[in-house]
């Protein structure tokens, strides 16, 4: 099952988030804790100490024709090495800036630390998504956490 948070540049250069593509925070999500699904899609963060995420199937029931469904992967992860968040977010090539979070499923929103200062980078999002899917990553450097919101991110590795 594909799960993830991400944002990238869409067609015509308009920046969209997975929640904007979906049109809302979407249906209720069932929060999962397995890290393999996240590591397999986002190897940029190294080993994952913890993750809470959900995969929301979009497009289901909207058409009578069979078609692949998009899956919105949204959640929060904590890398095993706290320096990962600091190293990525302080890299001047990524040009991280203060950011507002997109509309999130209620159960994911409830897991976020109160008062967190989120930053994001279009350059980092582009590096991760490589134009293959819509995805955004938001960093909370103080707590060494990353919020991800992606639309059908592919498996990149088997996690080994």
State pLDDT tens for residues 100-136: 999 999 999 999 989 999 999 999 999 999 999 999 9
Q: Residue 35: which domain range? A: 7-151
Q: What pLDDT was estimated at residue 156? A: 86
In a domain, 67, yes or no: yes
- Across 33-56, average pLDDT: 95
Q: What are phi and psi of 143, to 5 degrees?
A: -105, 5
CA distance 117 to 1: 30
Structure tokens at 138: 């938001």
Q: What pLDDT was estimated at residue 40? A: 94
The pLDDT tens digits of the residues spanning 136-156 come to 999 999 999 999 999 999 998
Q: What pLDDT was estimated at residue 16? A: 45
Q: What pLDDT was estimated at residue 59? A: 72
Report the number of distinct structural domains present in the chain: 1
Burial of 114 (0-12, 13-18, 19+ CB in 10 A): exposed
- Across 74-103, average pLDDT: 96
In a domain, 55, yes or no: yes
Q: What pLDDT was estimated at residue 63? A: 58
In a domain, 1, yes or no: no
Q: What pLDDT was estimated at residue 66? A: 54
Average pLDDT for the chain: 83
């Amino acid at each position: 099952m594909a799960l993830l948070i991400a944002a990238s540049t869409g067609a015509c250069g308009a920046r969209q988030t997975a929640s904007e593509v979906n049109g809302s925070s979407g249906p209720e999500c069932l929060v999962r804790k397995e890290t393999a699904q996240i590591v397999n899609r986002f190897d940029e963060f190294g080993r994952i100490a913890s993750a809470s995420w959900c995969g929301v199937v979009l497009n289901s029931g909207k058409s009578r024709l069979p078609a692949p469904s998009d899956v919105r992967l949204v959640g929060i992860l904590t890398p095993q090495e706290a320096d990962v968040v600091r190293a990525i977010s302080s890299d001047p090539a990524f040009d991280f800036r203060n950011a507002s979070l997109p509309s999130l499923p209620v159960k994911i929103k409830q897991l976020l630390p109160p008062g967190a200062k989120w930053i994001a980078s279009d350059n980092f999002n582009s590096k991760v998504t490589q134009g293959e899917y819509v995805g955004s990553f938001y960093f909370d450097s103080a707590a060494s956490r990353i919020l991800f919101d992606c639309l059908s991110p592919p498996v990149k590795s088997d996690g080994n």
